[in-house]
Amino acid sequence: MITERKKKRKKQPKQFTAKMQAKLLLVFCVVLACIALLAVRLVYINKADGEAYKKRVLEQQSYVTSTVPYQRGTIYDSNGMVLAKSEKVYNIILDCKVFLTSEYYYEPSMEALCSVFGFDEAEIKAILDEKPDSQYYILKKGETITNVLAYEAIADGNKYVKGVWFEEEYVRTYPYDSLASRIIGFTNSGNVGTWGVEEYYNDILNGTNGRTYGYYDSELNLQKVTKEAENGSSLVLTIDATIQSLVEKHVEGFLESKECSNIGVIVMNPNNGEIIAMTSNEEYNLNQPRDLTAWYTQAEIDAMSEEEQYNALNTIWRNFCISDTYEPGSTFKPYTIAAALEENLIEPDQKFYCPGYEIKGGWKIYCNNKSGHGWLTLTEAIMKSCNSALMEIGELEGRDLFKMYQQSFGFGSKTGVDLPGESSGILMDVKDLNETELATSSFGQSFNVSMVQMASAFCSLVNGGYYYQPHVVKEIQSDDGAIVTEIDPILVRETITKETSDFLLNAFYETVEAGTAIHAQVDGYLIGGKTGTAQKLPRADKKYVVSFIGVVPTNDPQYIIYTVIDTPVDETYFASSYFATTLSSEILEDILPHLGIYPDGEINYHVDYPEDESVTDEENTDAIPEMTED
């Protein structure tokens, strides 16, 4: 009875009501929503701060971090020849802490390290004893890929070879050592360009470093997370390496046989401002730019102070063609004549009388022919480099007009050539161009110019009057070789008309054919040009800057050459343009076939002059002014 009652009292199970189902569904939805929100939050955090959290995780482990260097851009000549490049090398990094983690690692790791790279075991042991907790010790810089691969092959085959890893680095090299050294320049540590295009285009050549974050897993294998580097852009120069090397060869030959303070040669394309070759003095080795032994004995170097060595190096690195200035002398006369022709102050067929001197401002200023040239045409005034005719023309222009044309031709200001260290030159103020100063300025004295200024201005004289900004880079390329920027010719201004240009071209040809520049002739070619002999200050020292500036061919100008020799040491020709004209002739004869310009039979279209009016060898010393107070 009691048992039956107990059974009757037993509770019946509760039913899963609709209300309960609703509550359970609500809880499920809340949990699902939380999971969804958490997932969204995790995605957001990973996207926004994932890199920071990765670093935080790595910080809690045994890790290493290193820079992934970018590759500095390559420098090519106009034909694609590599002039400067960055080669990948490797730094050997010793992780002392890992190396010493287990006794099983020591012997195989030491054997691999010493056998492949040639280290002394005692040397490595001393480092391990001194820095047992170091995880970054540079054992060696600049290791080749061959040895690195050999070591990695051993490490892959032996799990106990630990504690050494490799850091990539790039080393700047110059395959042709000294070729075009003052155009290219070099780099210091940290990929900092010094001189040349290495400095001028430093930011373009450089890229952005990447970064590697590495940590050791439980088996002491190095795991890496890498952010890749962005390589720099490359440069394609206007320089033709073949032409450059030939010009350098002739300059070196001259310096071996003659002495001078400075020498420079520029070859340009007058129709776009491209510099094809540029050299000055003896080129230096770009792979060893601080080596003074080619210029000084070891005893002299040892006796120098640090400042004296620095000054000596800067003298060697300096580019005479753009950084130094001098009085141009008679090579400036065509600019004075061009200005007068443009302003209709003179006529192409006008004649001038040369008595051998002019009195200006109380000074008797002599012509190169003190006995006088007599009557001269304008062309003959250029051919014979007559100072008297130029002083008369300068007086017709007056100081305001003369100064205006000086500036129009780019004198007194930088040309904007894409090389560092350019000089502006020095012009006299208009108020100081009095009668005497205007007279001497008319034939190229009393003011200073640079070689690149003269070459650029001369291009406008022979190409129809178009002044182009000179440049040495024609293309900027991306890391994969695509053209990023094509540097088009920059027309700065028009200086003269084509009629004036044509007149000057004919006069330049006559000057080479039968005037002061006869030694610049090259058989089979239409060469034109003008000589210059400027007496340096102080005048009493009788030191000169001799020069020749020329164009080829004169019936269709394709190239100009400008050669300047500062203070040649020679008893016979120290005050003559002979050295400049002969050196220019030798260079042109060598380079013109490489430039695609070939001889065209016997060249002679000059107008014959009476025998007594021709320029004699004695007179072929150009116009050297001499002033005496009158």
Question: Structurally, how many domains does the chain consist of?
Answer: 2
The verdict on residue 189 lying in a domain is no
The residue type at 379: T
Q: Residue 228's pLDDT is what?
A: 87
What are the CA-CA distances from residue 153 to residues 148, 161, 323, 340 (Å)?
9, 11, 54, 79
Which domain-ending residue is among 184, 199, 229?
229
Residues 570 and 435 in one domain: yes
- Bridge partners, 546 (sequence order): 533, 565
pTM of the model: 0.84
92 assigned to some structural domain: yes
User: Is 568 a member of any domain?
Assistant: yes
Q: Which of 229, 258, 275 is at the close of a domain?
A: 229
Beta bridge partners of 66: 212
CA–CA dist 440, 329 (Å, integer): 9
Q: Are residues 502 and 623 in the same domain?
A: yes
Crossing angle, helix 451-462 and helix 498-514, to 10 degrees? 110
CA–CA distance, 568 with 383 (Å, rounded to integer): 23
Of the chain, the percentage scoring pLDDT greater than 70 comes to 88
Strand partners of residue 629: 363
Q: Which of 363, 362, 327, 355 is nearest to 626 (CA)?
A: 363
End-to-end CA distance of the chain: 162
Find all residues with CB under 8 Å of 127, minimum gap 6, and list them.
94, 96, 137, 139
* Of 61, 56, 127, 54, nearest in space to 93 by CA: 127
Three-state DSSP string of 318-356: CCHHHHCCECCHHHHHHHHHHHHHHCCCCCCCCEEEECC
β-bridge mates for residue 597, sequence order:
none
Tokens of 543: 């030191």
540 found inside a domain: yes
Structural domain contains residue 478: yes
Both 220 and 356 in a single domain? no
Q: Where are the beta strands (DSSP E) in 189-339?
A: 192-194, 210-216, 222-227, 234-237, 262-268, 275-280
Of 560, 499, 265, 517, the residue nearest 385 (C-alpha)? 517
The answer to the question of residue 222 being in a domain is yes
What pLDDT is stored for residue 9 in this prediction?
Answer: 54
**Using CA atoms, how far apart are residues 500 and 390, in angstroms rounded to an integer?**
16
Q: Is 26 domain-assigned?
A: no
Say whether both 212 and 333 belong to one domain. Answer: no
Query: Residue 222 is part of a domain; what is its CATH number?
Result: 3.90.1310.10
If one counts every other C-beta atom within 10 angstroms of the C-beta of residue 539, the result is 12
pLDDT score for 606? 41
Residue 79, number of CB atoms within 10 A of its CB: 11
Specify the DSSP class assigned to residue 608. P
Confidence (pLDDT) at 97: 85
For 429-456, what is each residue's pLDDT tens digit?
999 999 999 999 999 999 999 999 999 9
**CATH number of the domain encompassing residue 608:** 3.40.710.10
Q: Between β-strands 75-76 and 234-237, what pairing exists: parallel, antiparallel or unpaired? A: parallel
Domain that holds residue 108: 66-171+208-229
Chain-centroid distance of CA 285 in Å reads 15
In a domain, 20, yes or no: no
Spatial distance between the Cα atoms of 207 and 373, rounded to a whole number of angstroms: 63
Instruction: Give the residues across from 213 on adjacent strands.
Output: 65, 225
Using DSSP, state whether 579 is helix, strand or coil.
helix
pLDDT-flagged residues of the chain (< 50)? 1-2, 55, 57-61, 603-620, 623, 629-630
Rg (CA), the chain: 38
| Cis, peptide link before residue 348, omega less than 30° from 0 | no
